[in-house]
Amino acid sequence: MAACELRGELKYRDGEKKEFVVKTENNLKNILSGVQKMNADVSAVLTELVLREKGSVENGKGDIQVDDEEEDDSEEEDEKKIRDKTKASSSEPPAKRTKTLRA
Q: Write down the pLDDT at residue 98.
A: 77
| Domain carrying residue 8 | 1-62
Number of domains in the chain: 1
Is residue 90 a part of any domain in this protein? no
Is residue 53 a part of any domain in this protein? yes
Is residue 94 a part of any domain in this protein? no
pLDDT at 80 over 70: no
C-alpha distances in angstroms, 34 versus 5, 47, 93? 8, 20, 51
Give the integer Cα–Cα distance in Å for 38 and 23. 10
Is residue 5 a part of any domain in this protein? yes
pLDDT in tens, 28-73: 999 999 999 999 999 999 999 999 888 877 766 544 444 544 445 5
Is residue 74 a part of any domain in this protein? no
DSSP the chain: --EEEEEEEEE-TTS-EEEEEEEEESSHHHHHHHHHHHHHHHHHHHHHHHHHHHHHHHHHS------HHHHHHHHHHHHHHHHHHHHHT--SPPPPP------
